Amino acid sequence: MAQVLEFKLPDLGEGLTEAEIVRWLVEVGDVVAIDQPVVEVETAKAMVEVPCPYGGVVTARYGEEGAELPVGAPLLTVAVGATQPSASVGSSAAPAASRSASRRGGAAADGPAAEAGAGSDSGSGNVLVGYGTGAPAARRRRIRPERTAAAAPNSVPAAPVPGAGRASASVVVGEMDGVPGPVAVVSPLVRRLARQHEIDLRQLTGTGPDGLILRADVDAAIRMAGAAVETESRAAAAPAAPAAPVAPGRATVGAGEPAAERIPLRGVRGAVADKLSRSRTEIPDATCWVDADATELMAVRAAMNAATGPSAGPKVSVLALLARICTAALARFPELNSTVDTEAREIVRLPGVHLGFAAQTERGLVVPVVRDAHTRNAESIGAEIVRLTELARTGKLSPAQLTGGTFTLNNYGVFGVDGSTPIINHPEAAMLGVGRIMPKPWVHRGELAVRQVVQLSLTFDHRVCDGGTAGGFLRYVADCVEQPAVLLRSL
C-alpha cells in the first residue's frame, strides 16, 4: 500500500525565510521521480526550481501561483510506492468544480500526510536546490497553453483529484480577485503588477495570441487609471460637474489630490534594502578616490583581443582586467579581503578571494560571485563573469552563486557616471567602484594631452584597516591601470 508523504518548502540557504510560488511544474496525479523539480519559486535572491526528495504520485499541491509560503510550509504530498493514480489517492467522488480548483494549484484539501522517516529509501533526503542522488531525472510534463480550464463556482476547493484532466498554465481563475471567471494571462509578474495597482484583469482585452494579456496591456490600464485621477482632480474645481472615477488603488486626499503610491519592499528590492541598511548600521565605512589614466590599459585590452586563429581565447572585457587587478591588489593588502566577527571582536582575514560584481537586472540589483578569483587569469574571470551575467538576466542564479563573496567590484560607469560612494556589501570589508572611461585633458609626460581617464573609488571598513592601507590598495590599482606592466611584475 502506498504511503503518503508530505514535502515541505525546504530551507534554501542564507537565512531565507519565505519564497513565492512562480510556477508549478507538476500536476496532481503526475508521477514524479526522486529529485525531480516540482515547483519554481522566487526568493529574495533568485528564481530556483525545488526538487522533491520522494518518488511516487502527486496527491495534493499547497498554494497558488503568486502565493508566498514560509520555509517549512507544506508544498505537496506524494503517494510513495504508487506508480499511477488510483482510487485510494484523493476522492473520486469530488465535485467537478473541486477538481478544477485542484488542477489550478489552489488550496489543497486536508488529508493524511506523514513525514519521511529517517533512513527511508523512498526519497533522496536532499531537498536543497542543486543537490541530487544520481537518480535519473524524470522528464517534465509539458503544460499545453492552448487548453483552457473551467472556472470554479464560489465554493471551497475539495480534495485534489488525480487523473482529472489538466488545466492550462495560461489561465488564471478570477478567484484571486474574488470574482469568478477565467482570465488569459501567463506571467506571474503580470498578475503581480495588476494586483499592486488593483487592476481588474477581467476588464482587459489581451493583445497577445488568443487574447493573452501581456504586461503592455496592464501598463496601458495603469496609465488610463492615472489619467482618470487627473480628470477627477480637474473636475473637483467644478462641483456641478460629475466627478471622474477614482483610479483603482489611488485614494484621494484633500481637494482631489491623489494619495502617494505604496510599493511593498519585497523580493529582491526588500533583500537589498535590508542588506544595505545593515551595512550602514554596522560598518563604519570611509571612501577614498583617485583619477587614473586608463589609456595604456585600453591599449593592452585591444592588443589582447586582436589575436586571431585557433589559439586565440575569448575576448577580454575591461571588467575582467580590473577584476584581475583587484585580486593582485588584495594579495598585497589582505586586510581588505576580510570580515569582522562582532561577537568575538575579531578581524577574520579570508584565505581566498571570491569576487562579487554588481549586475543590474530587471529584478533589481544582484551581486553574482566569481569563486576562487585569485586562482584565475583575466580570460577565466571574464568567461565566468559572462556566464553569471547571463544567468542573472534570465533570473536563473542560484542562492549559492549570489553568496559567499569576500570583495565586490562595482562598475557604475556603465550608467554614464564618473564617481560614487558605494555602500559595502555586508559582511565584506571593501568595495571598489569604477566610473566611466572617457577622453579628458591630462598631463602626460609633461605635456597636456587627451587621455582615457577613469575615476576609481574605494569604500572600506575602517575597523579592518586605516587610511594608509586603503590608500595603498587604491594607489596600486591605479598604477596597474596606468601601467599594466606593474601587474606583470607582481605575477
Q: Any idea which residues carry the catalytic annotation? A: 462
- Rounded Cα distance, 473 and 423, in Å: 18
Q: In 175-308, at which residue ranges do the beta strands (DSSP E only) sit?
A: 182-184, 252-253, 257-258, 285-293
The CA-based angle 139-142-143, given to 5 degrees, is 150
Report which of 432, 428, 386 is spatially closest to residue 412, judged by C-alpha positions: 432
Ramachandran sector of residue 178 (left: φ over 0; alpha: ψ -120 to 50; beta: rest):
left
Sign of the CA dihedral running 272, 274, 277, 281: negative
- Rounded Cα distance, 384 and 371, in Å: 9
CB 160 within 8 A of CB 109: yes
- List C-alpha distances in Å: 161 to 73, 96, 110, 230: 21, 9, 13, 50
- Rounded Cα distance, 473 and 407, in Å: 13
Q: Cell 523580493, residue? A: 267
The CA-based angle 276-279-285, given to 5 degrees, is 120
Half-sphere exposure of 249 (CA within 13 A, CB side): 17
**What is the torsion angle, in degrees rounded to the nearest 10, for the CA atoms of residue 118, residue 85, residue 149 and residue 111?**
-50
H-state helical runs in 236-316:
267-282, 295-305
Q: At what angle do helices 295-305 and 467-482 cross, to 10 degrees?
A: 50
Report which of 150, 138, 246, 145 is spatially closest to residue 187, judged by C-alpha positions: 145
- From the centroid of its chain, how far is CA 241? 48
- The set of residues, in sequence order, having a beta carbon less than 8 Å from that of 262 and lying 6+ positions away, is none
**358 is written with which cell numbers?**
554588481
- The answer, yes or no, to whether the previous bond of 95 is cis (omega within 30 of 0) is no
Which phi and psi angles does 310 have, rounded to 5°? -60, -30
